[in-house]
Structure 1
Amino acid sequence: ASLSTCLTQAEDLPQALSAALAELKELWRAASVLAVVFDRGDTPTLTATEPGLTWQQLPAERRQALTDLCERPLLAPTLDSSGAGIILEHPDGPMALWVDLGDQRPFSSEDQLLLSLLAGHLAQGLTRAHQIDQQREIALVLQRAILGPSQLPEGFAVRYEPATRPLEVGGDWYDTVSLPDGRIGIVVGDCVGRGLEAATVMGQLRSACRALLLQDASPARTLMALDHFAAGVPGAMCTTVFCGVLNPDTGRLTYSSAGHPPGILAHPDGTTVLLDGGRYAPLAVRPGTARPEAACDVPARATLLLYTDGLVERRRRPLTSGIDQAGEAVQAGRDSAVDDLATQVMERLAPAGGYDDDVALLLYRHPAPLEMTFPAESEQ
């Protein structure tokens, strides 16, 4: 049970192996336990319970004994005077596992049976850890491919941060859409679930929302149409979305929210306003129902923050506290360039152990009017 726990709680494959070796050392009260993976590299990869130990530092006879284990059948223990070794499958190649008991006692027949059983269990656990690593990387590559890189309109900055391992990539997204009349569509959304499935659903919803905005630049009608689309996509129900249309010349913002956390508008005078109007249920909960719409003005030098709940939601803390903290972070950096501010907000709100949910963030700073001073001419 302890071996299973350390394998499932590890953040990645190397950590899973290190934790398993420590567990085996404790079980046998061994002097040391080490594992050598014979991959395609020139030097085998060594993991040991002794910190800093390398393959080259092992005695020549031990290196040869570990190499010879590769010729043995899988999960068949080999004994010598100080311990036992066994060969098992690792995702990167054959792995020799050695348990060194020192001069405590010989390796009994019961020890051999237990080593064989645990080595088989370890091989399965390492395979699962490797598969989880691969799925996470595929989902992250897909997520980043969908989100960008792209040319952002003037005044915008975006960030995406996946959850800290071993948690998976989720379905958060952001988007800016240049509309035919010169206005800009802005979207931030959050699909339910994690992993490759959530990233795939996110890609479908993001593309559909972009197309709908280009067809009808009304946030409420866009979300109504997206309701119907999401109802036919498995896994899309209860997705939250903030959809807005911004006039960059006047700062007028029209928006509608499908159950999404409120946008934050930080004014240059230090006050903060939550964009909590135009709010209705998440996508596909009640398709066909008319959605409300709200509007506000983004004044010169003001900063708009849109985000997903991973930025502000923490266990055993009210959501409003996280939203307040986000507003304070934007105000604290109101003199920073907008791209620098995006980094500052992500760093300031990050938990000590990293984000436990993925985060999408979009910032917009409305420009100040152009001011020019001309010297007075004496003739005028």
Structure 2
Amino acid sequence: MDETSPSRRGGSAAAEPLFRPLEGGALRPLGAVPPSIQWIVTAIGGLAALALGAGLLAAWRARRGERRRRALLDDIGLLQGALLPPVADRVGGLCASVAYRPWDGPGAGGDFYDVFALPGGRDGVVLGDVEGHGREVIGATAALRHSLRAYLEAGLEPRAALELAGEVLGRDPAATMATAVLAVHDPRSGMFTWAGAGHPPPILLGGEFGAETLTAAAAPPLGAATATGLRQTSVYLPRGSAACLFTDGLIDARAGGGRLGLDRLGELAENLGDRLSASTLLDAVGREASEITDDMAVCVLRPTARSAGEHLEGAHGRVEELALPPGQISTSLMQRFLWACGVEADEAQAAMSAARETAREGAGVLLRVETEGRAPVAISQLGRATLAPVP
């Protein structure tokens, strides 16, 4: 070892400069970075690489977010064209307002509505929700909306239209499950008739509607591999009243640690008073809810003219119907329905016996109850839903 090495002298050598002067005062690099500062150079390089990577990642995320935003807008545009057609402020004997708000999640959903004129001066309403979101459900949702409208235009009552739609979807193993509510308004009599399939009932405001909305024996959704179109309700809808049809995104909104719920939605609608419209109700839900978890669609209907029913005694009653297809005569279902309608136990027992007797002939059974009258429960054979006009 050289005698002048630091180990021999017992001291430490002075750090050799990185650059050595050349003639004329210029500097030239000496070569490798000393080990004592290599970690500093490595760290600086790593930080620079991280900064560059973060910038590239942020730019990529921004481009992806913009693509998603454009795709969402495209989805909404397709939905508005195929599922949410323009609705006039006045349709036949109804003032109508409709509104739709997409969920802020991955793409728009399968909510749909339509309000249209029917033969004979009546008005038809279709509103529902197909399971799923985005472009994947647009085709199925559009087909269902057009089918339900066509069934009403062909003369079927709301319950029969849902029954037929359920049969058609039941023959398709790839069918998507959906909920729907259909309604028909007759401005001459003032009667408003609706039926649902796995869907919440309309909210009725501003009239004397008799008993509370009946939810017993509710019909299952469309495409649920079972018969639907079991229930139908008719009420008198006078001037000054309103019917509010909506998808379950409104009542499933999160508020106060739970769901908003049907009762609270009814309170919000009632509190709006004369300001009630589809848009103002969605605004009220938005203010009340801490989180929206699904698309929301609303249709608010108001009668525009006095009907002949205003002068008829008993016009303010409610008519409830339960349809039981052949081979599906359920005593427990009939019992829940009749008791919910306020039918006395003895009369309910007699009605169920008559229904079972009718079913022995291999036919379905239709039970009809006038909740505000004294007429006995009417039992009749259930006709099969077809596209032939219903008288």
- TM-score class, shorter: 0.5 to 0.7
Aligned: 1:125 with 2:64: no
Aligned: 1:359 with 2:296: yes
Aligned: 1:348 with 2:287: no
1:158 counterpart residue number:
98
1:228 counterpart residue number:
167
TM-superposition CA deviations, 1:328-357 (whole Å, max 9, x none): 223223334xxx533321221114667432
TM-superposition CA deviations, 1:169-190 (whole Å, max 9, x none): 1111111132112211211101
TM-superposition CA deviations, 1:201-260 (whole Å, max 9, x none): 321211111112212321122112222343467875331101112112222122211110
TM-superposition CA deviations, 1:16-73 (whole Å, max 9, x none): xxxxxxxxxxxxxxxxxxxxxxxxxxxxxxxxxxxxxxxxxxxxxxxxxxxxxxxxxx
2:184 counterpart residue number:
245
What's the secondary structure of 2:156's corresponding residue?
coil
Alpha-carbon RMSD: 3.2
Which letter does structure 1 place at the counterpart of 2:98?
Answer: V
> Which residue of 124, 131, 137 corresponds with 2:73?
137
1:148 counterpart residue number:
85
What's the secondary structure of 2:165's corresponding residue?
helix
1:307 counterpart residue number:
246
What's the CA shift for 1:107?
Answer: 7.3
What's the secondary structure of 2:249's corresponding residue?
helix
- Relative to structure 1, the CA distance from residue 190 to residue 202 in structure 2 (aligned partners, 3 Å threshold; closer, same or farther) is same
Larger Rg: 2
What's the secondary structure of 1:254's corresponding residue?
strand
1-structure distance, mates of 2:169, 2:203:
26
1-structure distance, mates of 2:213, 2:174:
29
What's the CA shift for 1:286?
Answer: 2.6
1-structure distance, mates of 2:209, 2:191:
20
What's the secondary structure of 1:279's corresponding residue?
coil
Aligned: 1:181 with 2:120: yes
What's the CA shift for 1:304?
Answer: 0.6
Aligned: 1:204 with 2:166: no
- Relative to structure 1, the CA distance from residue 138 to residue 229 in structure 2 (aligned partners, 3 Å threshold; closer, same or farther) is farther
Aligned: 1:324 with 2:263: yes
- Relative to structure 1, the CA distance from residue 347 to residue 272 in structure 2 (aligned partners, 3 Å threshold; closer, same or farther) is farther
- Relative to structure 1, the CA distance from residue 176 to residue 231 in structure 2 (aligned partners, 3 Å threshold; closer, same or farther) is same
TM-score, with length taken from structure 2:
0.59
Q: Which runs of 5+ in 2 are unaligned?
A: 1-40, 308-391
2-structure distance, mates of 1:225, 1:362:
24
- Relative to structure 1, the CA distance from residue 193 to residue 233 in structure 2 (aligned partners, 3 Å threshold; closer, same or farther) is farther
Query: Is the CA contact 1:310–1:358 (under 8 Å) kept in the aligned structure 2?
Result: yes
Number of aligned residue pairs: 262
Which letter does structure 1 place at the counterpart of 2:68?
Answer: I
Query: Once the two structures are aligned, what percentage of the paired residues are identical?
Result: 26
What's the CA shift for 1:280?
Answer: 0.6
Query: Is the CA contact 2:238–2:306 (under 8 Å) kept in the aligned structure 1?
Result: no
What's the secondary structure of 2:119's corresponding residue?
coil
2-structure distance, mates of 1:185, 1:123:
50
1:258 counterpart residue number:
197
After TM superposition, what 4+ stretches of structure 1 lie above 6 angstroms from structure 2? 232-235, 269-272
